[in-house]
Chains A and B, each alone.
Chain A
Amino acid sequence: METAVELIDAHKSYGSVEALRGVNVAIRRGELMAMLGPNGAGKTTAISLMLGLRKPSSGTARLFGLDPTDRRARSRSGVMLQESGINGALHVRELVDLFSAYYPHPMPVDRAIALAGLEEQARMQANKLSGGQRQRLYYALAVCGDPEVLFLDEPTVGMDVESRRSFLDSIRAFAAEGKTVVLTTHYLEEADELAERIVVVDRGLVIADASPAEIKAKVAGKRVVFDTDAPLTEDDFRGMPVNHLELRGGHVRLLSNQPEPVLGALFRRGVEIRNLEVVGADLEEAFLALTSHGDGAGAGQPAHVTEEVAG
Chain B
Amino acid sequence: MSTAVASQPSFDVAPALRIVGAQARATLLGYWRMPTFVIFSMALPVMFFLFFGLPYAHQTLPDGTSIGALIMGNLGAYAVSSILVFNVGIGRAQARGQKIDLLQRAMPLPGWVVIAADTIGAMVLALISLVVLFLFAAVAGGIHLSAEDWVTLSVRSLLGALPLLGLGLAIGYGSGPNAAPAVANLIYLPMSFASGIFIPLSSMPDFLQKLAPYLPTYHYAQVVQHGLAPSTAESLGTAILWLVVWGVILFAIAIQLYRADVARKFS
- CB pair B29 A90 closer than 8 Å: yes
Say yes or no: is B203 at the interface (Cβ < 8 Å to chain A): no
- CB pair A101 B22 closer than 8 Å: yes
B-contacting 9-mer, from A47-55, A116-124, A231-239, A264-272: A47-55
A167: chain B residues within 8 A (beta carbon): none
- CB pair B18 A87 closer than 8 Å: no
Say yes or no: is A102 at the interface (Cβ < 8 Å to chain B): yes
- B1-44 CB contact bits vs A (8 Å, 1 = yes)? 01101100111111000110111011001100110000000000
- CB pair A105 B99 closer than 8 Å: no
- CB pair B100 A86 closer than 8 Å: yes
A72: chain B residues within 8 A (beta carbon): 11-13, 108
Say yes or no: is B207 at the interface (Cβ < 8 Å to chain A): no
- CB pair A85 B103 closer than 8 Å: yes
Size category of the A interface is 35 or more
- CB pair A101 B18 closer than 8 Å: yes
CB distance from B110 to the nearest CB of A (A): 7
- CB pair A179 B2 closer than 8 Å: yes
Say yes or no: is B98 at the interface (Cβ < 8 Å to chain A): yes
> A145: nearest residue on chain B (CB-CB)?
B108
How many A-B contacts at CB < 8 Å in the complex? 108
- CB pair A74 B107 closer than 8 Å: yes
How far is A104 from B12 in the complex, measured between Cα atoms in Å? 6
Say yes or no: is B139 at the interface (Cβ < 8 Å to chain A): no
Please pick, from A85, A105, A138, the residue contacting B100 in the complex, using a CB distance under 8 A. Answer: A85
Say yes or no: is A99 at the interface (Cβ < 8 Å to chain B): yes
How far is A79 from B105 in the complex, measured between Cα atoms in Å? 11
B103: chain A residues within 8 A (beta carbon): 79, 81, 84-86, 138, 141
A99: chain B residues within 8 A (beta carbon): 107
> B110: nearest residue on chain A (CB-CB)?
A71
A251: chain B residues within 8 A (beta carbon): none
Please pick, from B3, B26, B95, the residue contacting A98 in the complex, using a CB distance under 8 A. Answer: B26
Say yes or no: is A216 at the interface (Cβ < 8 Å to chain B): no
Say yes or no: is A193 at the interface (Cβ < 8 Å to chain B): no
B3: chain A residues within 8 A (beta carbon): 178
Please pick, from B21, B30, B266, the residue contacting A89 in the complex, using a CB distance under 8 A. Answer: B30
> A83: nearest residue on chain B (CB-CB)?
B99
> B25: nearest residue on chain A (CB-CB)?
A98
- CB pair B29 A102 closer than 8 Å: no
Say yes or no: is A154 at the interface (Cβ < 8 Å to chain B): no
B109: chain A residues within 8 A (beta carbon): 71, 102
Please pick, from A51, A95, A104, the residue contacting B10 in the complex, using a CB distance under 8 A. Answer: A104
Say yes or no: is B102 at the interface (Cβ < 8 Å to chain A): yes
Say yes or no: is A258 at the interface (Cβ < 8 Å to chain B): no
Contact status of A148 and B5, CB under 8 A, knowing A71-B13, A105-B10: yes
B9: chain A residues within 8 A (beta carbon): 64, 76, 148
Say yes or no: is A162 at the interface (Cβ < 8 Å to chain B): no
- CB pair A51 B106 closer than 8 Å: yes
Q: Chain B CB within 10 Å — which of A54, A76, A145 has the most?
A: A76
Say yes or no: is B202 at the interface (Cβ < 8 Å to chain A): no
> B14: nearest residue on chain A (CB-CB)?
A104
- CB pair B19 A102 closer than 8 Å: yes
> A2: nearest residue on chain B (CB-CB)?
B9
How far is A104 from B105 in the complex, measured between Cα atoms in Å? 17
- CB pair B26 A55 closer than 8 Å: no
B95: chain A residues within 8 A (beta carbon): 85, 87
- CB pair B99 A74 closer than 8 Å: no
Say yes or no: is A67 at the interface (Cβ < 8 Å to chain B): no
A145: chain B residues within 8 A (beta carbon): 108
Say yes or no: is B267 at the interface (Cβ < 8 Å to chain A): yes
CB distance from A160 to the nearest CB of B (A): 23
How far is A104 from B108 in the complex, measured between Cα atoms in Å? 9
Pick the 5 closest A-B CB pairs, nearest first: A101-B22, A85-B98, A104-B12, A74-B108, A89-B33
Name 18 interchain pairs, CB-CB below 8 A, sorted by A. Answer: A29-B6, A75-B108, A76-B9, A81-B106, A85-B102, A85-B103, A86-B100, A87-B100, A89-B34, A94-B29, A98-B26, A101-B21, A101-B22, A103-B108, A141-B103, A177-B2, A178-B3, A179-B2
Given contacts A85-B98, A101-B19, 5 further A-B contacts (CB under 8 A): A54-B267, A81-B103, A85-B95, A87-B30, A105-B12
